[in-house]
Every structure is written in structure tokens, then in C-alpha cells.
Structure 1
Amino acid sequence: MFTGIIETLGTVEEIKREQDNLHLTISSNITSELKVDQSVAHNGICLTVVALSQNSYTVTAINETIQKTNIGTWQTTDKINLERAMKLGDRLDGHIVQGHVDQTATCIAIHETNGSWLFTFDYDATLNNITIEKGSITVNGVSLTVVNSKKNSFSVAIIPYTFEHTTFQYFKIGSKVNLEFDVIGKYVARLHSLK
């Protein structure tokens, strides 16, 4: 379980393909605090630490993860958002995030708005995921509030702190991102579809 509040950025150091799996080696300033078997959200993708070295650690993504996320497009030197799993009893500063990416989206607009930024994303609405105005959404692991909710797109307003401390600073028109829709909204949508 995660909150969508990003702790730090990591750097992709190495990518190895083994059959349908990707083994990614990541360097970060939290590496020394990690242990094997620990879950870490990488751009919103919950991955298990499988190996540790002095300054980096390795995680493995299976084909299911590669197909549903943007992890297959990552390259060495790419920066990624990192968040360790919540501790029981911690404050829930963002919203309930599982680290299970529902689908990807494409950044279609970026507007600087006098001290903040408005990012707009387009996604495939045929997968039956929804946003609601002022609801929660996770973009590359960042817990955000939806504005301009539409059937296949939404926007998020980014404050300077979030821009500077997450991968939003690297987004361009056409950037592919991971989305995790609000878990409560997913249950409501599923119940509605069963009627």
C-alpha cells in the first residue's frame, strides 16, 4: 500500500531482458535503507527488490507489468519516481494507492499558469476506467487531484514543489505515463457495470 507521495527520484542504471522479464537496476539515495523482498513503487509500479548492491538495487518486471505500464519504454539514465510502502500507523497524506497500474496515458498539453502547471492526459476510455472532478488519480505514482474530468481525458494542477521533486519536470507532449485510478471509484464502476 502506498500514498502517492513521492520520496525521491531514482535513476535507471541498467536494463536486462531475460525471456519475457525485465531486470532493472536502479540507483537512489534510499538504496541503503532497502532490503530484499521490499516493495517499492517505481513511477507507480509496485516492484519487489530482488538484489542489492552498495549504491543500487534490482527489481524484476514480468510480461503482465510490461504490457500494462510504460516500463518497457524506460532507458538507462531515465529518472523515475520512487516511494516505499506505507508503514502501519503513518499518515495517509495522498490517497490509497496500490501500486497496480491500470493503464497508460499520453500527455497532450502542458500549460504554465503563473507559478504552477496544468498537465492534460488522454487515455483509452474503452477500458472502463473513470475520473471524476476533484477525485484522486495517480500519475507515475504521484497522488493528484483531477480537474477537467472528461470521458477519455483529465488534467492535474502541479505546484512548484511537485514539479521539482518528481518526474513531471521531464514530461513533454507525447510522454507516456502510468495511471492508477482511484480504488473506490474502480469498485463503484464495477458494481455499476454488474447491474
Structure 2
Amino acid sequence: MFTGIVEAVGKVQAIAVNGQGARVTIACQGLDMADVKLGDSIATNGVCLTVVDYSQNSFSADVSTETLKRTGFAYYQIGQPVNLEKAMLPTTRFGGHIVSGHVDAVVEITRIERQGNSWDFHLTMPTEVAPYLAEKGSVTIDGTSLTVNSVADSSFRLTIVPHTTEQTIISQYQVGTKVNLEVDVIARYLERLLLARTGGAEQSTASSGVTESLLQKAGFIK
């Protein structure tokens, strides 16, 4: 598990494609590798990767075909900057939100606007992701824990403060940039709970299955 607080920015150093997917090597000079061991997890642009080899300044991990299909690794090139975070410890300060490192969708930035000393980023989202995003809720973009400022039918808006821009790869985003998105895991568990409490009998056109009548049956709204 991770918190979405980026510890360092690294770069893709090598990509070796094989029959099972690919082995990637990430240069990570800014990441403290002193306590890293084989088998440890490091979130790389929000994707949980298992360390299979490492040095003081880099680590390697295997990326499955499934991961290549469902994340930004499908189009990453040598030199691609990536956000890095080691798995959280029980003693870690929990500054973000619960992040699993399992990407739900790749979404695209459609508009960037300056707002005072911050930036507004507008992003598209597929219909199957929309029910899990809520205004002032949490979302993970390329491994960074962010707050959703507004939600529309097929898009949402983020406001990024200068510190976050400076400490992550967000400063390199442009209109058209594709990023990894992970919804708040609590939203997924809530959906599962609601469906279980109603026996899963209700059918919905919404891909998540969460409807107003379902919430009423579960006693969450009147």
C-alpha cells in the first residue's frame, strides 16, 4: 500500500520487452534505497512494481502484458520521468490517502488553466470510472494523491498547488498528456458493501451498479 505522497522523481532507464511483458529499469537517484530489498514494492507513476534487482541508483521490475495494456507503460519511452514512492510502513506519516498501486484507467488532460499561483487541470474519464469520483474526494494521478475539485459527466478538475508541481512530474504535463488514474479504494469497498446488503439483485445501467434506489435500500439516504 502507498499514500500518494511522491518521494522522488525518477526516469525510465531501460525497457526490455519479452514474451511475458517487459522488464523495466528505473533510474532513481533521488530515492533512498538503503532499506530496499528484493520483492519490495515501489509505486512508479502509480503502478505497484515488485523489485527484482536494484542498486543504489536504480531498480528493475517486471511488467506484465496486462499492466502494459492498462497503464501508461504501454507508451513510455526511455527517459520518461516517473513519480516514485516506496511502500508505506506502519510508522509512515499518512499524508495522502490509501493507494493500492492498481490503475483503473488511463485518462487524458484536455485543458490547463492558471488560477493565481496554482493550476487547474481538466481531465476526461471513462464512464466506468465516473461513479467513483466525487467533489472534494481523493484520486490518484500518476501516483500522486490529489483532491477532485469538481466533477462533470465525463470529466473532472484538479487544482494543483506549486509545491505539488515542484515535487512531482506534473510540471511536465501538457494538453494531451495521458496519465494513470486510480480511484479511491474506499469507494470500491462501499460499492461492494451496498451490493452485498441488497443481495446484488438490483440491476443498473450504471457500470458500478450504485443507484439512488440502491442507496435508499441500504439505508444511506431517505
Question: TM range, normalised to the smaller chain?
Answer: over 0.9
- SS of 1:125's partner is coil
- Are residues 129 and 179 of structure 1, via their aligned partners in 2, closer, same or farther at CA, if it must alter by over 3 Å? farther
- The C-alpha deviation readout for 1:36-94, integer Å capped at 9, x for no partner, is 11100001000001112342211111011111111111111111000001001322110
**8 Å contact 1:43–1:82 — kept in the other structure?**
yes
2-side partners of 1:79 and 1:129: how far apart?
30
Q: Name the TM-score, length of structure 2 as normaliser.
A: 0.83
TM-score in terms of structure 1 length: 0.94
User: Is contact 2:124–2:155 with CA below 8 Å preserved after alignment?
Assistant: yes
The aligned residue for residue 158 of structure 2 is 156
Instruction: Kindly indicate whether residue 23 of structure 2 is the aligned counterpart of residue 23 of structure 1.
Output: yes
- Displacement of 1:26 in angstroms is 0.7
Give the superposition deviation at 1:104.
1.0
Aligned CA-pair RMSD: 1.6
State the identity as a percent.
39
Higher relative contact order (CA 8 A, sep 6+): 1
Amino acid corresponding to residue 13 of structure 1 in structure 2 = Q
Matched residue, 1:32: 33
Give structure 2 stretches of 5+ with no counterpart.
203-222
Give 2:220's aligned residue.
none
**Separation of aligned partners in 2, 1:135 and 1:63:** 31
Partner of 1:124: 126
1:4 matched to 2:4: yes
Q: What is the distance in 2 between the residues matched to 1:187 and 1:32?
A: 33
> Following superposition, which runs of at least 4 residues in structure 1 exceed 6 angstroms of deviation?
none
User: Please, which runs of 5 or more residues in structure 1 have no aligned partner?
Assistant: none
Q: Supply the distance in 1 between the matched residues of 2:130 and 2:163 (Cα, whole angstroms).
A: 32
Aligned mates of 2:32, 2:51 — CA distance in 1: 10
Letter in 1 for 2:25: T
